[in-house]
Every structure is written in structure tokens, then in C-alpha cells.
Structure 1
């Protein structure tokens, strides 16, 4: 599960930003990494996916 970006060398804006779950691209052309992050968490909630064990303390302060 993750977010990918495709950029051309020398260009600051990404050409494509998307979300990958279990090796399959489920959303693409999201426009920004922030939007992809929001969509990823929405998909985790909507699809009732279990959060990866190695990331379970990511948002623990």
C-alpha cells in the first residue's frame, strides 16, 4: 500500500500521482501527494483494510 509519483527530470510538478494497494494501482491522476494521502486513508477506512504492522506507530505521539 502506498503512494507513487511520476516526475520528469527538471520539472517540479509531478506528471502523475496515484495510490497502489497490494500491487494494483487503484487511483491515478490525483494531482498532488496531499490528495493521494487523503484518498489512501479514505480507502483504508472504506475498504476496512488492516493498517500495516510496520507502520502502526506512525501517528503515535
Structure 2
């Protein structure tokens, strides 16, 4: 149980980090559509979403 909870919490942290980093960078540099910013934030966001999904699937017993 703790393993799934830790993975889910880490996933939510990654999602939060990606959103905060994107908003912070975009506000500071006024670069809302920067390709470099997208290339940094997108993998972090995807790993966070996948972490949450996998933790919830594993919690239900789906393998």
C-alpha cells in the first residue's frame, strides 16, 4: 500500500512541479509558446500523469 501511495504522491509532485515551472518561466520571460520550455515541461508532466495512473491501476490489482 505504501509503495503505491508514494508513487502516486511523487506523480502529483511532478505534475505540480511542471505546472509551477511552466507558469513561473512564462511569466518571468513572457514566453508562453517557447519550444525549449515545452521540451522540458512535457516529459515531467507525462511522467507525473503516468505515475498517478499506474499507482491507481496497481492499487486496483490490474497488472
TM range, normalised to the smaller chain? Answer: 0.3 to 0.5
Query: Which protein, 1 or 2, shows the higher relative CO under an 8 Å CA cutoff with sep ≥ 6?
Result: 2
TM-score normalised by L of structure 1: 0.34
TM-score normalised by L of structure 2: 0.33
